[in-house]
Amino acid sequence: MSGTKGKAFDVGLFRRVMQFVRPYRRLFWITFALTIFLSLVAVVRPVLMAKMVDNYAVKGDLNGLYMMMAIVVGLLVVEGIVQFYQGYWTSWLGQTITFDLRQQLFTKIVGFRMRYFDRTPIGTLVTRVISDIGTIESIFSQGLLSIMGDLLKLTVVVVVMFVYNWELALWSMVPIPLLLWATNIFKNAIQKSFQDVRTQVARLNAFVQEHIQGMAIVQLFGRERQEYRKFTAINKEHRGAHIRSVFAYSLFFPIVEILSAVSLAFLIWWGVGDVLKGVATFGELIAYIQFINMLYRPIRQLADRFNVLQMGMVGSERVFAVLDTEATMDESGTLSTAEVQGNIAFVDLWFAYIDEEYVLKNISFTAKAGQMIALVGATGSGKSSIVNVLSRAYEYQKGKVLLDGVNIRDYRLGELRKSVSVVLQDVFLFSDTVHNNITLHDDKISREEVIAAAKAVGAHDFIMQLPLGYDTDVRERGAILSVGQRQLLAFMRAFVNQPKVLVLDEATSSVDSMSEQLIQQATEKITQGRTSIVIAHRLSTIQKADRILVIGEGRIIEQGSHQELLAMNGAYRKLYDLQFA
């Protein structure tokens, strides 16, 4: 935020925001013209009122008075219509620009490497996509055009007041310097309080989100009172930040009203004398009373609008920081995977999540089309990293990964990922129907194909027992389903895509024995006829694998069939004895 902190307007950032206005520049200039019109026409009303009093009311000319009243009413109607369109189009413009910007930001985030999400809190990205972009909308609906309109209105009002009667204008503006001084203090105070409010809202959101997700731990370990005290402390800070902003408003608005009353008192004191002397007219005095209202209202609003504009600048800087982040996957591949058979080869592969802290070191192995390769080893040995590299969730640093003899980076990224389906241990389900969680809204996958996949993996019966069958909403993260049922849906998700390569990452490590049996049957079904890489802690699930790789500290320390590895009496034998002793 360093680029916008301390100033309400940043030209460079504003130019970037205005780039999104280009498709709608015609509407922007129309709303700008309407803003100017409203600023000018507002000054006409006091002038007409003065003429109505001096030229017609005082002289008893009822016909002229009625005519002037009709003109004023007509002007009010026109002003009301213009205000409607100016307000509506301004808000439409702001919402449309933020829609486009939010679309571009989400597209950018979807293309980021997984490494970016490892280092960036989810809550931060949610704030960028929703709250920060929302502040950019206010630049148009409440900030820039409104400020320009208010400043123009102030300028016109002051000029007209001095042209008509400079003495009345001067006396009525005696408190203005004091008002400007108070406005500046208010602007600084409310700016700091706004920043405090945003900080405390972020803290409160993060605490509530984390503790609702971890409520089971809080309750199981009896930490309700302790967490309540933490929440109370954060909530008090949140309340205090809001109260400080309310205090600033509560102090500033009465000051404005008092100074407005003082201006009015000076005007009447001096103006009545001028009227009695014949220097000024009664109509002018009435007009100047209206001019005072036109002076004080925009000045009071300007402090608010400048803070809105500054918050929009701060939000835009945060959003553009994400847009400027170079963390997207290289999608320069041009080859199709349509004819891929599923032959895999890792050649002298080195991979690190951070700099050169390699978690995979000189990994080399091959898997022929249709073979099952199993990966075993201790937690943190590098098994999942092999999967991450194969699906291009992460980019490797040295060596090669080949699919049918072609570097995986030469394939189109979207096609590669459809050809390499991954079933993770921690299954993520969206708050959506069973059908949509399986197809992920791919219209090319029919209901018949989904049902066929469900029957193939043994999930059809339990799905039909749900209230709406395949149209049942599984709730957030699949809350209404058991761990095993969620796992079966993940199998179906992979199955309907008909991948050339299937990866099962710890697919049975968190399920009961009955679910494990169903999953093993599903595994045999969906791995049939396709290359499979299976990561497992339970060695009973991979004894039929064509080849088993034992991973230790990022290297392949043993490989062979189940019987061959047992005969070696090495690391695999130790793992086997630990499980079956």
pLDDT tens profile 105-125: 888 888 777 777 777 777 677
Residue for token pair 């800087």: 317
Which residue, 292, 323, 354, sits at the end of a domain?
323
CATH code of 162's domain: 1.20.1560.10
pLDDT attached to residue 1: 40
Which residue, 262, 288, 323, sits at the end of a domain?
323
The answer to the question of residue 315 being in a domain is yes
The answer to the question of residue 3 being in a domain is no
CA 452, distance to chain mean position in Å, is: 37
The answer to the question of residue 337 being in a domain is no
Residues 522 and 494: beta-carbon distance below 8 Å: no
Residues 138 and 91: beta-carbon distance below 8 Å: no
pLDDT attached to residue 350: 92
96 and 204 assigned to the same domain: yes
What's the pTM value of the predicted model, to 2 decimals?
0.71
Residue 136 CB contacts under 8 Å (≥ 6 apart), including other chains: 17, 94, 97, 98, 101, 312, 315, 316, 319
- Alpha carbon distance 45, 305 (integer Å): 25
pLDDT attached to residue 490: 84
- Give tens-digit pLDDT for 124-143: 777 788 878 888 888 777 76
The answer to the question of residue 330 being in a domain is no
286 and 402 assigned to the same domain: no
**pLDDT interval class at 279 (50, 70, 90):** low
229 and 293 assigned to the same domain: yes
pLDDT at 334 over 50: yes
382 and 417 assigned to the same domain: yes
Tokens matching residue 446: 């029919």
The two beta strands, 406-407 and 398-403, are antiparallel
Q: What is the mean pLDDT of the chain?
A: 81
Amino acid residing at 544: K
Tokens matching residue 273: 């004398």
pLDDT attached to residue 393: 82
Scanning 280-433, the segments in alpha helix (DSSP H) are 282-323, 383-390, 413-419
Domain interval for residue 52: 11-323
**pLDDT interval class at 382 (50, 70, 90):** confident
Q: What percent of the chain has pLDDT over 90?
A: 4
pLDDT at 6 over 70: no
pLDDT attached to residue 536: 78
Highest mean pLDDT among 135-139, 165-169, 323-327, 551-555: 551-555
* Mean pLDDT in residue range 277-300: 76
319 and 348 assigned to the same domain: no
pLDDT at 276 over 70: no
447 and 550 assigned to the same domain: yes
Residues 469 and 433: beta-carbon distance below 8 Å: no
pLDDT at 4 over 50: no
Q: Which secondary-structure segment (H or E) carries 551?
A: strand 547-552
**pLDDT interval class at 506 (50, 70, 90):** low
**pLDDT interval class at 84 (50, 70, 90):** very high
- Give tens-digit pLDDT for 420-461: 888 877 788 888 898 998 888 888 888 998 898 888 878 888
The answer to the question of residue 314 being in a domain is yes
- Alpha carbon distance 274, 171 (integer Å): 12
505 and 564 assigned to the same domain: yes
pLDDT attached to residue 348: 92
Number of structural domains, the chain?
Answer: 2
272 and 351 assigned to the same domain: no
Which residue, 260, 292, 323, sits at the end of a domain?
323
- Alpha carbon distance 140, 145 (integer Å): 6
pLDDT attached to residue 513: 60
The answer to the question of residue 63 being in a domain is yes
CATH code of 548's domain: 3.40.50.300
Q: Give which of 16, 258, 21 is closest to 140, Cα–Cα.
A: 21
428 and 505 assigned to the same domain: yes
Highest mean pLDDT among 145-159, 418-432, 553-567: 553-567
The answer to the question of residue 276 being in a domain is yes
279 and 365 assigned to the same domain: no
pLDDT attached to residue 2: 40
CA 477, distance to chain mean position in Å, is: 20
Other C-beta atoms within 10 Å of 371: how many? 18
pLDDT at 81 over 90: yes
410 and 510 assigned to the same domain: yes
The answer to the question of residue 5 being in a domain is no
350 and 264 assigned to the same domain: no
- Alpha carbon distance 349, 366 (integer Å): 12
* Mean pLDDT in residue range 330-353: 86
Q: Give which of 426, 570, 438 is closest to 491, Cα–Cα.
A: 438
Residue for token pair 């469900």: 454
